[in-house]
Structure 1
Amino acid sequence: MTRKRQESREGRLPVLSLVPNIVTMLGLCFGLTSIRFTFDEQYQFAAGMLILAALIDGLDGLLARRLNAASPFGAELDSLSDFVCFGVAPALLVYNFGLQGLAGMGWLAALFFVICCCLRLARFNVAAKDELSDDKKSFTGVPAPAGAMLGIFPVTLSLADFADLRDLQFLIALWMLAVGGMMVARFNTVSLKSMRISRDNAVYVLLAAAVIIGMMLTRIWTFHVGATVLYLGLLAWGTLRKRR
């Protein structure tokens, strides 16, 4: 019986090892679908697909570790998917939304964003393989998913009815250049992972999580705008704290 059970488990292992890659490809489908909605000028669905892709990003890595199914193939697939979902798709979305009026300048801003995302992912891949890399000792730019969420901020700002920047396309171009620069920047800041939550504050964290989930389900664009501003604030606060 023991041998049969062992053989049965071994027979299921190849199927389980595919689960993280399937999740990665699901995220890739979200990114590609976002591009499709961008071409149709359905910006609410295009931005929504990117938010879904960002939410499930990292889930594939978690599953790979839990299922003991991590592999070089999965790592490369995840990186390629991130490039499409968080580099190409948001750049096309923002360009089609509010950069076409600038002609070549708008396209250059979108290209700059994509190139910075590519460099960020390439540097992350190299640092992950090099245990002595200095990139592990300092903040080396916002991650690609966070960069994508920052990049589409002008779009969600309009979808949330806060402000429509399409009449100020030069500001959108500057924003894309700034976000691209943040993805490849190298500066010291407090890592969000280093922040610990005490048991006394656990109740407040759960309440905040409930509010966040409620906003995501009811007012997704307002949530995105607020989360973007909060992330920028934490980034600035961590940098100032690190310098002290």
Structure 2
Amino acid sequence: MKQLPNILTLGNLFCGALAVIYILHSPEYRAEFNGGEYLVTNPAPMYWASAMVVLAALFDFTDGLAARWLKLQSPFGRELDSLADMVSFGLVPGMMLFRLLRSAYMSMPDVFDVSYVNLAPALMVPCFAAYRLAKFNLDTRQSENFIGIPTPAVGLLVASFPMIIMYNPFNLAHWLQNIWVLYIIIALLCYLMVAEIPMLSLKFKSLQIKPNWARFLLVVLSLIGIPFLQFATVPFVFVCYVLLSLVAKPTTGSAAK
């Protein structure tokens, strides 16, 4: 039982590594454009990478619960958790955005003038995720709530993009295949991960309404959004999470994680 939290953390890492494999092996198909043929990444196979990110998030949630329940919280577990999060919620969303940017450029008439320099901004996501995770381990203010967007939220948001492109609720796929929209998303995510903005933690220490009203409202909005928004629920909840955090202004503690 002593190793249960670490085993769950390694489950997170395993799912992240598997997601990387799915992204790397996402097949491409040939499409005709202006009389020529081009290779285009099909977002559909990345469905499994998205599923692995969701599963990694479940492992990430349960390893903390297990550590607190068994009273096995330790510096080693904290470091291991950050290493796993770096892969599942840093590297994986960066690679997803890289592939989505590449697909967006493939639909442009000057596609052959595009270099990896145009796609490299996607790799800023894992860089900023690494910075945030290293800072989190040393920042004693983030015991009860967060400062900056936590990396699992970023990972889950980006993991929803292939599903949104596949099922296209509210024609959102059109926007996620626009290079400038993708660049803006990358810039916002990088900023939010390291911004000095207090963000809500979803840890319920009690069921009292007053200290948890923002958390309860976020849960209610999530449940309401699922049948109406489908996969668009994820970006909707992400935006609600940011706005509720700004309104609620959660306090930060002084004890280490």
Amino acid at match of 1:67: L
Contact 2:94 2:124 in 1 (8 A): no
How far has the Cα of 1:228 moved from its partner?
Answer: 2.5
* Residue pair 1:151, 1:175 contacting (<8 A) in 2 also: no
Whether the 8 Å CA contact 2:148–2:199 is kept in 1: the answer is no
RMSD over aligned CA atoms reads: 3.3
Q: Give the match for residue 10 of structure 1.
A: none
In the alignment, structure 1 residue 126 sits paired with structure 2 residue 138: yes
State the TM-score, normalizing by the size of structure 2.
Answer: 0.69
Query: Which protein has the larger Cα radius of gyration, Structure 1 or Structure 2?
Result: 1
Q: 2:61 aligns with which of 58, 61, 66?
A: 58
Map of 1:61-140 to 2, 5 A cutoff? 61-99=64-102, 101=105, 103-127=115-139, 130=140, 133=141, 139-140=146-147
Between the aligned partners of 1:170 and 1:104, the Cα distance in structure 2 is 16
Who is 1:146 aligned against?
153
Distance 1:53 1:137 in 2: 22
Q: Deviations over 1:207-228 (max 9, x none)?
A: x78x95xx6xxx8xx5442132
Q: Secondary structure at the match of 2:147?
A: coil
Identity of aligned residues (%): 25
For 1:226, give the aligned amino acid: T
Query: Residue 71 of structure 1: CA displacement?
Result: 2.6
Bigger relative contact order, structure 1 or 2 (CA pairs below 8 A, ≥6 apart): 2
Q: Which runs of 4+ in 1 moved over 4 A?
A: 135-139, 188-199
Q: Does 1:169 align with 2:154?
A: no
Structure 1 portions without partners, runs of 5+: 1-15, 200-204
More helix by share: 1
Instruction: Give the number of the structure whose residues are more often strand, by fraction.
Output: 2
Q: TM-score, normalised by structure 1?
A: 0.73
What secondary structure sits across from 1:68 in the alignment? coil
CA distance in structure 2 between the partners assigned to 1:61 and 1:137 by the alignment: 13
Q: 1:30, 1:50 within 8 Å by CA — same for their partners in 2?
A: yes
The one-letter code of the counterpart of 1:178 is: L
1:157 aligns with 2:164: yes
- Please list every run of 5 or more consecutive structure 2 residues that lacks an aligned counterpart in the other structure: 27-44, 106-113, 210-215, 251-257
The aligned amino acid for 1:228 is: P
Q: How many residues align?
A: 211
Name the CA shift for 1:106/1:52 in 2 (closer, same or farther; >3 Å).
farther
The one-letter code sitting in structure 2 at the alignment partner of 1:70 is Q
| 1:178-217 matched pairs, under 5 angstroms | 178-188=188-198, 193=203, 197=207, 212=223
Q: Match of 2:213?
A: none
> Cα distance, 1:236 vs. partner?
1.4
Q: What is the distance in 2 between the residues matched to 1:138 and 1:66? A: 19
